[in-house]
Structure 1
């Protein structure tokens, strides 16, 4: 792991949504405060140590942290490498759904039947409702990585459309390859999704900066992602309520998406406070040989979360 901190040298929703406003306001506020106080930025030394430890044990690690105010990368390591990212690959799908809604080619209230059951995750499989509207499916896919909701959206808009959207977003190393499956056969894609830390951080930055397709599309996707329930990795350091963190008493903005698979943990998001705002991605692919191997991987995410909190406050 050669991670090192960098030197300083597509109705999709209202563009004035809470998430978009908070991201832009937080970034501007943070930039001004840094200029006034001249505070020293964290070095991410603990994160580098944790990631180096994982790499020494044979894990593949990729990280990218981008300052939202200045646009430069403040921490990077193998961020160009394409790695499996699990359910994090749903983000380009959400962008395509919001884009089609904005264009009027997809009705957000269109009712879609539940697809063939998958048990890999989510809540729809436990609900009695046999069908849900597109907008609700997007909420389920973004908030809890619901496999059935994600598969239903993929069937509706098509993987080809999602891949074309990814190309237009400039994602050459990031792709949603398949639907969720309980088991992958020889004729199936070997992974749900692949991505690079660099592209995913840039994508999240473009969402909060209203630059992904359009301001309305960016705001809608960011709003869906603020509903995320998985705060067990980087998000654990925020102290936020996993089920209600759109409004925070301390002026913090947080939106994220995690991805999990056998031996894969990934998270990308935006964290902004009074001092700064960042878009971040961390991907760890490890041999899940024991619970300790898994917990070491999780600890690295939490270490990054702690240092990101020091960076933004």
Structure 2
């Protein structure tokens, strides 16, 4: 890539903000509003998944342990359990549902099993200081409730994603879960990738990227955190876009533009 082309892509990143803030972070490469504390929506579920994965790797959580879905766990919004009849799922099943379809009911059941305090402890152990889960998922969220499910920064989330290199058992578990995410509508949307490729590659074919990610959507929020692997390089990334209600389509466009720039600046695509 020429210096002129790199400058143009950096200028494109600088021009992302519309009706809100678009934070973009790739450790050691891109830092744009990465310290801004923003609403994360379901990307905050990564902290819950990390606590579960570390528990499984340490032998403190059995993925085959049955977890009952209680009435208080059930929640509208994203997911499948609200339309399914079963009330007993394993902890591992719940994690897959959280990672793959961002299931809100599965999130609440797994969060109840692990505990908000333990999720917070795991987050601190992973280096999170400003990124945290505040509450269970609620639909609707009332003024008497905590202001959001999760808050945090793109910088901390990108550095976390950068740690998911498969060298530790918990990170291999996380990558396998995140590879099942069915939502590739944000950062990877315009990139050449196979959304059903679950196996972590040594290197994908030239011109392609492999993606494992977690997205978050809510009113005025579009966010995407994950890992991209190209033929010659691997990166962790985070794009968190917050804006006023009604700006969601603009935020999607910004996240997709950021994805193109991130992949090109990282040398992952032509």
1:112 paired with 2:112, answer no
Task: Tell me what 1:258 maps to.
Answer: 215
Q: Distance in 1 between matches of 2:198 and 2:16?
A: 34
TM-fit CA distance, 1:285: 0.7
Pairing 1:82-93 to 2, within 5 Å after superposition: 82-93=37-48
Tell me the CA shift for residue 155 of structure 1: 0.3
Q: Distance in 2 between matches of 1:47 and 1:234?
A: 16
The one of 43, 53, 77 equivalent to 2:32 is 77
Task: Identify which of 167, 190, 196 aligns with 1:237.
Answer: 190
| Residues 1:199 and 1:77: Cα distance change in structure 2 (over 3 Å) | same
C-alpha deviation, 1:105, in angstroms: 2.4
Residue range with higher mean Cα deviation, 173-182 or 93-102: 93-102
Compared CA separation, residues 177 and 94, structure 1 to 2 (3 A):
same
User: Cα RMSD between the aligned structures?
Assistant: 2.0
Q: Do 2:158 and 2:226's aligned partners in 1 also have CA atoms closer than 8 Å?
A: yes
Distance 1:209 1:102 in 2: 12
Query: Residue 303 of structure 1: SS of its match in structure 2?
Result: helix
Partner of 1:43, secondary structure, is: helix
Q: Distance in 1 between matches of 2:218 and 2:86?
A: 27
Match of 2:250 in 1: 296
Give unmatched runs, 5+ long, in structure 1. Answer: 1-38, 67-71
Tell me the residue number matched to 2:173.
220
CA-to-partner distance for each residue in 1:206-242, whole Å, 9 max, x for gaps?
Answer: 11253xxxx1111111111111111000121234344
CA positional deviation for 1:137: 0.6
8 Å Cα contact 1:54-1:296 kept in structure 2:
no
Q: 1:245: Cα distance to partner?
A: 2.0
Higher relative contact order (CA 8 A, sep 6+): 1
The structural deviation recorded for 1:99 is 1.7
Task: Quote the residue 1:36 is aligned against.
Answer: none
Of residues 294-303 and 263-272 in structure 1, the stretch that sits farther from structure 2 once superposed is 294-303
Q: CA 1:47/1:177 → structure 2, altered by over 3 Å: closer, same or farther?
A: farther
Secondary structure of residue in 1 paired with 2:236? strand
SS class of match (1:181)? coil
TM-score where L is the length of structure 1: 0.77
Counterpart residue number, 1:54: 17
Tell me the secondary structure at the aligned position of residue 54 of structure 1.
coil
TM-score normalised per structure 2? 0.88
Q: Which moved more, 1:44-53 or 1:174-183?
A: 44-53
User: C-alpha distance in 2, partners of 1:220/1:301?
Assistant: 26
Instruction: Give 1:63's aligned residue.
Output: 24
Cα deviation for residue 278 of structure 1 reads 1.8
Q: How far apart, in 1, do the equivalents of 2:91 and 2:48 lie?
A: 12
Of the structure 1 ranges 114-123 and 135-144, higher mean CA displacement relative to structure 2 is found in 114-123
In structure 2, relative to structure 1, the CA distance for the partners of 1:201 and 1:132 (3 Å cut) is: same
Deviations 1:283-313 (A, max 9, x none): 1111123xxx322211111112223343213
